[in-house]
Amino acid sequence: MTPLRIFWTGLGSVAVVAVIIGALTASSGFVYRHWQDPDRPMEFDGDRVVAGDNEQVDEEKPTPTTSGLRPKVVVEDATYNFGRLDPLTMASHTFCIRNEGEGPLQLRKGPTTCQCTISDVAQKELPPGKAGYIRLEWNSGRDPVFAHSATIFTNDPSRPRVYLQIEGQVRQLLGVVPNALNLDAIATDEPTEQSVVFFSQVWDDFRLSTAKTSLAGLDWKVRPLDDEARKVHGAKCGWRVKVILPAGMPRGRFHEWLQLRVEPQGTAENETQYYNLAIDGRVPGRLSVFGKGVDQHGAIRFGVLTSNKEMKKTLLLKVRDPQRKLKISRLTVQPSFLDVSLEPRAASQDKGLYALTIKVPKNAPRCSYMPPRPGKVFIEFDHPRIKDLQMHVELAVVKDKL
């Protein structure tokens, strides 16, 4: 039976680095335990905490030479960039370490930044003027960016640790850009479309088909990537998928998903895979209110006012509906002295933008409409779908001076 694999968003794999050192033995410092793997030590080397290997290591590091003839460790090109590799590919690189000092150079294997296997070694010291070789082996894994290192402990007092770095890029078996859809303030009465690119830097061809989705009415269309898009993604092949969300989704936040079936074509291992595309977003109401004078609960906060001054707040109303014209048919306010008006923003009525002004007139009577008994503004509209708007008003009017 052909095995199945599901690609989840953000899925990566742990690359394996094997350190084979022709002139080393192993040692460890202060050891923690890995939080996910108690059998995997975590070594604090004075600068950072790195994951060690699962094998038995020596108990002592080289003691730095502080008197007499001193060694000097020299490493040419401590960072090796392998360029690009296919996923799950084994590779290796040999580093050269030289002793350009006057005393013998002691070397010990330290930890690596991932789980590793370390072979036995015979030679422990490099005489002055001699060189040793360190071979790192790794599995490229699946993550697009590869960066791992191995630590070598020495008795050189000026360089007690040598870090050997392996880096490069791993070709993507299946790349998805963006790897999830995050849609804010989508249209209420019409479908919403968003494009996603599926590509491979390894396969010569693959096919997409629907497996299932959590959203009723969701649709999608697909067309091949053009030459420019393939070049941008470094892809051998790919598809541009247009995801279409249905009109009339309920107001509020949503968390949906689309699962696509991915079938490589013409490969030695035609392994069917599935990709779960997360689709998150928000469907706003047909009428939204913005402004400094309104809080997140829709309350208009005037606070404590003096009766000898007029005070007003102007809010912005945004109509999200094919019918942009908004007109008050009935108005109810409490306290009754509130003056409320609605006017289209200059040259913006066709965009559905209105200014809602709430005014507390000068010489308003003393009163208190603070929580838990606030005032209110209740507006009924002459509109086929936007029926009304209700907002609390928090205010208190005192004498001329506070």
Task: Flag whether pLDDT at 161 surpasses 60.
Answer: yes
SS3 assignment, position 159: coil
Residues in Cβ contact with 296 at an 8 Å cutoff, skipping those fewer than 6 apart: none
Sheet containing strand 41-44, strands side by side: 30-33, 41-44, 49-51
What is the predicted pLDDT for the residue at 61?
Answer: 76
Closest CA to 208 of 267, 275, 271, 268: 275
C-alpha angle 265-271-274 in degrees, rounded to nearest 5: 100
The CA distances from residue 300 to 306, 372, 375, 376, in Å, are: 17, 14, 9, 9
Q: How far apart are the first and last CA of the chain?
A: 82
Looking at the DSSP bridge assignments, the partners of residue 173 are none
Helix or strand run (H / E) with residue 227: helix 227-233
**pLDDT tens for residues 166-199?**
999 889 989 999 999 999 888 878 899 999 999 9
pTM of the model: 0.63
Q: pLDDT digits over 202-255, tens only? A: 999 999 998 799 999 999 999 999 999 999 999 999 999 999 999 989 888 999
- Averaged pLDDT for residues 347-371: 89
**Residue 60 — very low, low, confident or very high, per pLDDT cuts 50/70/90?**
low
> Residue 263 is encoded by which pair of tokens?
């079938």
Mean pLDDT calculated for residue range 290-299: 85
Q: Determine the pLDDT at residue 348.
A: 63
Tokens of 328: 């008050």
d(CA 280, CA 163): 42
Out of 63-77, 108-122, 281-295, least confident range:
108-122
Q: Give tens-digit pLDDT for 267-280.
A: 766 688 899 999 99
Determine the Cα–Cα distance for residues 146 and 105; give it in Å rounded to an integer. Answer: 31
pLDDT of residue 314: 93
Q: Give the C-alpha separation, 24 to 34, whole Å.
A: 25
* Nearest residue to 50 (alpha-carbon basis) of 123, 150, 124: 150
Task: Give the whole-angstrom CA distance, residue 343 versus residue 354.
Answer: 6
Please report, rounded to a whole number, the percentage of residues in the chain having pLDDT higher than 70: 80
Residue 358 to residue 232: CA distance in whole angstroms:
53
CA distance 173 to 170: 9
What residue ranges define each of the domains in the chain, with the CATH number in brackets?
12-170 (2.60.40.10), 175-283 (2.60.40.10), 287-398 (2.60.40.10)
